Every structure is written in structure tokens, then in C-alpha cells.
Amino acid sequence: MTLQPLRRFGLDGAILFSDILTIPDAMGLGLTVNEGEGPRFARPIRRVSQIDVLTAPDAETDIGYVLEAVRLIRHQLAGTVPLIGFAGSPWTLATYMIEGESSRDFRHSKGLLHAEPGRMHQLLEVLTEAVSGYLHAQIVAGVQAVMIFDTWGGTLAHADYQEFSLAYLSRIVAALQTELGADAVPIILFTKGGGQWLSEIADSGCDAIGIDWTQSLFRARQLVCDRVALQGNLDPAVLRAPPDTIRREVKRVLADYGPGPGHIFNLGHGITPDIDPDHMAVMVDAVREFGQSIV
């Protein structure tokens, strides 16, 4: 699955086909994914006593199948394009582990955060250790960049984001750079709905920031002041539009960033299964065509 889009569209990088919930699954919460329902945990965290027994999984022992996939994919890529690994952020993983599934209001997660913040920090500490170890193992196995998806960070209040999400993201970045060297691999952070915190995210030490479609790349570029690269940010819904619209929107995104280095064109979030692959091809071709003139 990692190689299929690369072969079809000739992309500039390969993204490891996996799931952000591999870590909590390895922690024994009983992950199931049924068609039309999305991921669910059979044993979500609803009592603080459950947090006391959680430990970070060993990446090689408990999630070794992902690392073996990394090694096989690197061999098949044979140096043609870089392989990008990823993991979920501690806060986002915590929400799934507590809610048991995706949520509209995160009532259980935010309830724990506000009622017993020390317990939430306890859970996030374990997850930070787990994510750091998992990404470290992916890098050793062969990925050449890593991305941390903070899908639900944007649901937090300003102060809560700083304390319960960004602080832990920054610790993961620092841990990887300390263990592997500051220039070992690029580290990309993506907080969906986190446009108001771009400057703070840039201060985390990461190398690039993923931008969702609600933000202006021009404004984002001004905020980060060339401290980091920017990735994004076409609205995935545009891929349901006719080809002419897709081409127009690609051109707009490229023009919004403007000339110069430091932009990785991408969608502002994940692609959905209903998208026509031919429309994806239109987008890729348009990036190549219009990107040449803007550089």
C-alpha cells in the first residue's frame, strides 16, 4: 500500500502505510476497525486506576511488524525517493484511548484533563515515551523523515494546547534530536486546527509544520519567518471537484506560498476513500506544471 500511490502518481516521497493507533493497540486496549464505523477500543480508559498499569510498548517487540515493513519498503525503494514514517501525538492518542473511538466533544478526555490534570499528565508521559521510542525505531529501521499527527490538538483551549499537547510534542522532538543528532532526519509536526499556534510550534525545534486548509500559507510563512518549512495545504474536498477546479486551486495554493524554497505541497489533511484516483493525478500534474513557474 505504501508503494502503490508512488507507482501510480510518481510522487516525490513514500509515506508509510500504517495507523496512528498502533501504539495504544500494543498497550492492550483491544483495537478493532469495522467498515463504516472507524477505529474502536474494546477497553477504553475510563478509570484512573487503568492509567497506573500502562507502560510504553517496546517498538521492536510489540510493534515490530511496522519496523519490518519499513525495512522491506526501503529495500524496494532502492533510494529512489525518501520514506516518511509517522506517529500520532500523545494528546491525540490519549483522546482515542479515553473516548474509545473518535469523538465530537471529547467529553471524557477533557473531563479528565480538567478534573484530574495530574492523571492526564501521567498518561501523556507514558505516551510521550512510547511515541519517542516508536519514531526512534522507525528511523533506525530506515525512514528518512518522520511526521507527528496531532489530529485533535486544535480542539483544545489555548493554554491547554500549550500544556497538554505542544509541550509533549516539543519533548519528542528534543528526544529524537538528542538521541540521533539534530540533523538525523527532518521532523514534521501537524496540528489540525492549530493555525493560531504556528509560531509556537516553530519554536519546538521541528524542521517543518503541516498546515491544514483553514490557514493561509502566505500568513503562515510570515509567522514562522523561515525557521521551518511548511507542508500543505489543499483542502481534500477539492479533489471531488472537476479537473479545472482542481488545477485552479493547486495554482492558488502554490501562489499563496509564493516563490522560494521551504514548501512541500500536500493536502491539508488525509485523503478520503471516495476520491477518484484520476483527480489525484490531475492534482499531481498541476503541482508539477505550476510549481515550475512559481519557483
Whether residues 110 and 254 share a domain: the answer is no
Structural domain boundaries enclosing 115: 3-210
Whether residues 175 and 286 share a domain: the answer is no
Q: Tell me the per-residue pLDDT of 1-20, one tens digit each, with 9 for 90 and over.
A: 788 888 899 899 999 989 99
Segments in 78-116 forming alpha helices (H): 90-99, 107-115
Whether residues 100 and 167 share a domain: the answer is yes
Under the banding of pLDDT at 50, 70 and 90, the label for residue 110 is very high
Number of domains in the chain: 2
223 within domain boundaries = no
CA distances from 80 to 77, 140, 151 (A): 6, 19, 30
pLDDT score of 295 more than 70: no
Whether residues 276 and 158 share a domain: the answer is no
Whether residues 160 and 116 share a domain: the answer is yes
Please report the pLDDT score of residue 183 as a whole number.
Answer: 85
DSSP-assigned beta bridge partners for residue 147: 86, 188
Q: What is the mean pLDDT of the chain?
A: 95
| CATH number of the domain to which 17 belongs | 3.20.20.210
246 within domain boundaries = yes
Whether residues 189 and 245 share a domain: the answer is no
Q: Tell me the per-residue pLDDT of 168-185, one tens digit each, with 9 for 90 and over.
A: 999 999 999 999 998 889
CB 105 within 8 A of CB 182: no
CA distances from 152 to 38, 51, 133, 141, 164 (A): 16, 20, 21, 28, 11
Q: Tell me the per-residue pLDDT of 125-164, one tens digit each, with 9 for 90 and over.
A: 999 999 999 999 999 999 999 999 999 999 999 999 999 9
Q: Tell me the per-residue pLDDT of 211-235, one tens digit each, with 9 for 90 and over.
A: 999 999 999 999 999 999 999 999 9
Whether residues 275 and 190 share a domain: the answer is no
Whether residues 94 and 168 share a domain: the answer is yes
pTM: 0.95
Whether residues 135 and 274 share a domain: the answer is no
Whether residues 103 and 162 share a domain: the answer is yes
228 within domain boundaries = no
Q: Tell me the per-residue pLDDT of 66-101, one tens digit each, with 9 for 90 and over.
A: 999 999 999 999 999 999 999 999 999 999 999 998
